[in-house]
Amino acid sequence: MTQPLPLPAPPDGTGHDYILVCKAIAFISRAFRDQPKTEEIAAAVGVSTAELNALFRRWAGLTPKAFLQAVTLDHARRLLDGEASVLDAAYDSGLSGPGRLHDLFVTHEAMSPGEYKAGGAGLTIRYGFHASPFGLALVMANERGLCGLAFADAAAAPGAALDPAAPAAAKSFSGPIGRAAALADMTHRWPRARLIEDTAATAPYAERIFRPDLWRADQPLNVFMIGTDFEVRVWQTLLKIPMGQATTYSTIAGHIGNPKASRAVGAAVGRNPVSFVVPCHRVLGKSGALTGYHWGITRKQAMLGWEAGRAG
DNA sequence: AGCAACAAATATC
DNA sequence: GATATTTGTTGCT
């Protein structure tokens, strides 16, 4: 019952491939400074270059080379932003993050259906914009905890720079662009809530969310989830996925008792208001493909790479 | 009516 | 043969 969420590790084919891809992603995230050749990546994983290419293409939708570029690009951008403090802190703090802390770190509290229906009436939400490893983040919180996390820039969806022949990556970014749009995207979920810009109040949240070294089970981050019953159940399941690992939509569907509801799970995952903290980026298609992501497929890749690099 | 899915069938190399 | 593309079905908002 309370088993730690069955991850796609089992039968021969898929599980094996999955591990290989994980290894490759971890290797690239770790060694991107050296700009390893595809050959070297393949050697590190233990397969031929042809296999690696096919595998990667099948699982991640792009070639190992393209993934390497994405990781490198992302790193460069963070340094350029002059917001290197978060990144440096993460790298320099030894990345001690024993990978499993994430799920312990986050506790949650759901809204009652009645409160949900009220559209957030009587709720006071404070919000602020903060730099993060994955672009400008919009952080929202109320007295009971963190209640929203979104991204406000399109910078992490550089489909063009990444792979000119893959307009899919750029097109897939359907999310809002810009602060006002991001704020609107989040607030229309709770139309009656009172909003106050209060960067000072949200800064501590931003600080803790993106620094694994601050994740502690004894000082949990409280998350206030606002959604329908079904959505909340899906999000709770997501919180059980350990950092650096991934699951599938259909696995979650089975886990909450409706094996055939995978499509609905996908929709619910996408509606998750606290992206990254509720690890929606750790959900892949059953074939292992990186499917959609509200804030851009590239950002999803960056998150997975970021985590893979410090989970092992 | 519309989805961040899936499986099976079919077309393509 | 192994991969693209299409088609029917699916559960929840």
Strands of the A124-132 sheet, one edge to the other: A106-110, A221-225, A145-151, A135-142, A124-132, A194-197
The distance (Å) linking the CA of A267 with the C1' of B4 is 6
H or E segment and range at residue A196? strand A194-197
Residues lying close to strand B (Cβ under 7 A), chosen from 149-178 of chain A, are: 174
Evaluate whether A198 touches A124 at the Cβ level (below 8 Å). no
Answer for the pair A139, A149: CB distance below 8 angstroms, yes or no: yes
Say what the pLDDT of residue A155 is.
Answer: 45
Position A176 scores a pLDDT of 65
Asked about A147 being catalytic, the answer comes back as: no
* Å separating the CA of residue A68 from the C1' of nucleotide C7: 36
Task: Name which residue leads in pLDDT, A305 or A70.
Answer: A305
pLDDT at A202: 96
Higher pLDDT pick, A64 / A88: A64
* Structure token digits, residue A143: 């007295």
With cut-offs at 50, 70 and 90, classify the pLDDT of residue A72: low
Chain C positions under 7 Å from a protein CB? Answer: 3-4, 10-13
At A276-303, the pLDDT tens digits run 988 898 888 887 777 888 888 878 877 8
Antiparallel, parallel or unpaired: β A283-284 and A247-248: parallel
Structure confidence at residue A195 (pLDDT): 93
Three-state SS for A289? Answer: coil
Burial readout A27-59 (b: 16 or more C-beta within 10 A, e: otherwise)? bbbbbbeeebebeebbebbebeeeebbebbeeb
What is the CA A228 to C1' B3 distance in angstroms? 16
Mean pLDDT calculated for residue range A164-180: 52
Q: How far apart are CA A126 and CA A220, in angstroms?
A: 20
3-state secondary structure of A195: strand
Looking at A170, A278, A280, A311, which residue is catalytic?
Answer: A280
Distance, CA of A258 to C1' of C10, in Å: 11
Which pLDDT tens digit goes with each residue over A83-140? 333 333 333 222 222 334 455 456 667 777 778 788 888 889 999 999 988 889 999 9
pTM above 0.95, yes or no: no
pLDDT value, residue A154 = 59
Contact A10, A242 (CB under 8 A): no
Q: Are A210 and A133 in contact (CB under 8 A)?
A: yes
- Which nucleotide minimizes the distance between its C1' and the CA of A58? C3
DSSP secondary structure code for residue A34 in this structure: G
Is the separation of the CB atoms in A52 and A272 below 8 Å? no
* CA end-to-end distance (rounded Å), chain A: 27
Quote the pLDDT of residue A10. 39
> What residues have CB less than 8 Å from A262, skipping those under 6 apart?
A248, A249, A250, A252, A253, A286
A256 has a pLDDT exceeding 80: yes
pLDDT for A85: 36
CA distance A184 to A153: 13
**Contact of A250 with A281, CB cutoff 8 Å:** no
Examine the pLDDT at A239 and tell me if it is beyond 50.
yes
Q: Is A82 exposed, middle or buried (0-12, 13-18, 19+ CB in 10 A)?
A: exposed
A179, pLDDT greater than 80: yes
Helix H or strand E segment including A284: strand A283-284
Q: Which nucleotides of B are covered by protein (CB under 7 A)?
A: 2-7
CA at A58, C1' at C3: how many angstroms apart? 10
Strand B at less than 7 A from CB of A280: yes
Give residue A244's region: left, alpha or beta (phi > 0; psi -120 to 50): left
Task: Pick out the nucleotide with least CA–C1' distance to A266.
Answer: B4
Report the pLDDT value the prediction gives residue A260, as an integer from 0 to 100: 93
Amino acid type, A139: V
**What is the average pLDDT value for chain A, to the nearest integer?**
72
Pair A150, A295: CB distance under 8 Å = yes
All structural domains of chain A? 16-83 (1.10.10.60), 106-311 (1.10.10.10)
